[in-house]
Each structure stands twice: as C-alpha cells, then as structure tokens.
Structure 1
Amino acid sequence: MVSIKIAGTVDESVVDGEGIRFTIFTQGCPHKCEGCHNPHTHDYTAGKNVTIEKLFTEICENPLLQGVTFSGGEPFLQAEPLAILAKMLHKKGFDVTTYTGYTLEELQAMNSVMVNALLDETDVLIDGKFIIAERDLTLQFRGSRNQRLIDMKQTREQGKIIRKEFN
C-alpha cells in the first residue's frame, strides 16, 4: 500500500478550488512563507501517515464532491503518491487542483519523473509562494497577487501558460 504523510483533511471545502472539494493538507514544507495560514504543516516530522487507498475510499463515499485539492505543506515533496491518487481520482471523474509554493517553471526545471507525473494529473495548478506584501483577500483561491491559477490541460495543449478563469 502506498502512503502519504498528511497534516489533515477537510471533507467539504469551498475555498480550496472550484466546487465542493475534499482537501488534503500534506505535511512538510521547505518554503515557510511569512504569514502562511498553515504553519503547522511545515515540520517534516509531524503529521500522520495514511494510505492513498483510505483517502480514495473516503473521497468516493461523498457524492457531493466535484474534486480534490492537494494543499500543504508542499504537495510536490510527495509527488509520487499524489500522482497515483490523482490518477485514481480522474478515473472516477474528479478534478484535481494542486497548490504549490514553487512556480510551474521551477517544477519543470526539476526534471523529475514524479513531479512531472503529478503535473500531468493536475487540472488546476495554483503556483508561487505566498508573499505577505502581495496579500489580497479579494483573490479567488489564493492569498497573494503573485500566485497564478493555471489551467494545466490548456497549458499542456498550447505549450504556454494559460491562466484559469472561474465564473
């Protein structure tokens, strides 16, 4: 069984992406952004291990969910199990949103098979560190103006970054 280290989950979130979502907060983060609203996720030794099969079952039991959000901590530190879980979720019709403190360009420059696998299974990427000087509470699904909502399917198809627009 494949496991992931998490800080916790939210069963029905409407602030972590479009629609009603199951949000998984991964444990461990190298960014430690000033003003982070999840500082308890920074410590790599905290949190708990849970199997992706257990998370998958829990998600599939809720008929209200549109999608799943991977937040943090830093999800790309656990790219392999999240990519596997995302692939399972896509087969069940869920969409996947992934938050990261890295930019898409930084993730691509890592040239990592597992990072690329998670990017391939991500529908919407919300990238960039939270920068307190650019904090804006009016922004949808993000905390600072530097962070981007990226439509990953369109980005892959067009070969350039395409921003995601929500109604």
Structure 2
Amino acid sequence: MQLAQRIVGTEAEGPGRRAALWVQGCSLRCPGCCNPELFTAQGGTATDVDALARALLADGTLEGISLLGGEPTEQAEGCAALAAAVQRGGLSVMLYTGYTLAELRAQKSPHVDALLGHCDLVVDGRYERDQHDTTRRWIGSKNQTLHFLSPRYRADDPRFAAPNTIELRLDRGGVTVNGWPRESDLVWRRR
C-alpha cells in the first residue's frame, strides 16, 4: 500500500478512537477536495500491510481504522488485506470512497468486493463542493451517504449525531489538522 499519512488515535475520522490511514492516489479528482495533494499516485510511503496490521492491533486503544484518501478502492488489494487482518483482531473498518456502492459493485472486482466485505461503515459518493454539508457527522457533501454494512454500528448511536470536529496536533514537524471543518474553519487555509 502507498500511504500518504496516518494518524493513530484520532476521534475525528469515525466513531471511537481510530487509526486514520490516507492512501496516495485518486483518479476521481473531485473539485474542492480537501486532499488534492493525494491525487497523484506518486508519493506517499510504501507500507507493508502485515506489519501495519500488527502495529495497529498491538496499540490496544483503538476501536477501528478509517481508510481515506486519495481513493482507497484504487488500492483495493492492500486495503482489503489490511481490513481483513484488523477486523479479525476485533477492530472496526470505515471506508471513505468517492465512488458509490453501486459503482463499486458494478466493477465486479474481487479486491473491491473483499474490501467491502470487511467494512462496517462506508461513506460513498464524490465530494460536491456546491453541496458542502456540515450537518451530518463524517460527511463532506449532501450527495454522500453513510452505509451501515454490518451490525457493529447503528444509526441511532449518539456518536453519529454529534457535530463534526477537527483535531490539531502540534509537534516539532509542524501542525497536523484533520477532521471535518465547517466552511468558516477553512478560511485560514485559503490565504
């Protein structure tokens, strides 16, 4: 897998304490995407899936992982292997994809199907800048849908009704921001 970024211990990218893993590369290139630096397949870090799964399971504080991008289904084989390994270890799997579930299933790709088979939650649909949505947790635009693919989570879980959040991490290398900002939170980024 080519990973662009990972944050272990976020609560802004899905329910509970999670590892958020951003893959490198996305051919969809949605206008207004919050991660345009991840469009190109070049970049990121080649990551051994087995070693990553072992490290995530050894953490002991995580509820699950969130696969983001870039476009995780464009690295479906590696993402499916990782999802299977961490799910066997008791973690949940949340997938963010710019494709709709119908588009993914129509591909008839064994790797995409395997990835979906190990997902508890999927947010699907391209980001639409003119439909930006701050009213639903973990959703970027009004056309996107949160799908519950396993019984692990329920729509009436209060975490799904809470407002979107952002997280700031300061370290010697700078500032890392992740989560789902309101449009007013993005003003500083555009200058």
TM-score in terms of structure 2 length? 0.78
Report the AA paired with residue 104 of structure 2: L
Preserved CA contact (<8 Å) 1:124 1:164: no
Residue matched to 1:157: none
Report the AA paired with residue 51 of structure 2: K
Report the AA paired with residue 4 of structure 2: A
Residue matched to 2:23: 26
Residue matched to 2:135: 138
Matches within 5 A, 1:119-158: 119-153=116-150
Residue matched to 2:172: none
2:81 to 80, 84, 107: 84
Structure 1 residue 164, shift from structure 2 partner: 4.3
Report the AA paired with residue 118 of structure 1: L
Preserved CA contact (<8 Å) 1:18 1:166: no
Give 3-state SS (helix, strand or coil) of 1:61's partner. helix
Report the AA paired with residue 131 of structure 1: E
Structure 1 residue 135, shift from structure 2 partner: 0.3
Give 3-state SS (helix, strand or coil) of 2:112's partner. helix
Structure 2: how far apart are the matches of 1:123 and 1:44?
26
Residue matched to 2:2: 5
Structure 1 residue 110, shift from structure 2 partner: 0.4
Preserved CA contact (<8 Å) 1:12 1:20: yes
Give 3-state SS (helix, strand or coil) of 2:59's partner. coil
Residue matched to 1:67: 64
Aligned length: 156
Report the AA paired with residue 149 of structure 1: L
Listed one character per residue, the Cα deviations across residues 9-28 of structure 1 (whole Å, up to 9, x for unaligned) are: 01111121111110110000
**RMSD across aligned C-alpha pairs, in angstroms?**
1.4
Over 3 Å counting, the alpha-carbon distance change for 1:16 and 1:121 in structure 2 is same
Residue matched to 1:158: none
Displaced runs of 4 or more, over 4 A: none
Q: Which runs of 5+ in 2 are unaligned?
A: 159-191
Once the two structures are overlaid, the 10-residue window that deviates more, 119-128 or 49-58, is 49-58
Matches within 5 A, 1:88-103: 88-103=85-100
Structure 2: how far apart are the matches of 1:153 and 1:60?
20
Structure 1: how far apart are the matches of 2:129 and 2:120?
26
Preserved CA contact (<8 Å) 1:21 1:69: yes
Preserved CA contact (<8 Å) 1:150 1:164: no
Higher alpha-carbon Rg? 2
Over 3 Å counting, the alpha-carbon distance change for 1:129 and 1:25 in structure 2 is same
Give 3-state SS (helix, strand or coil) of 1:153's partner. coil
Percent identity between the aligned chains?
34
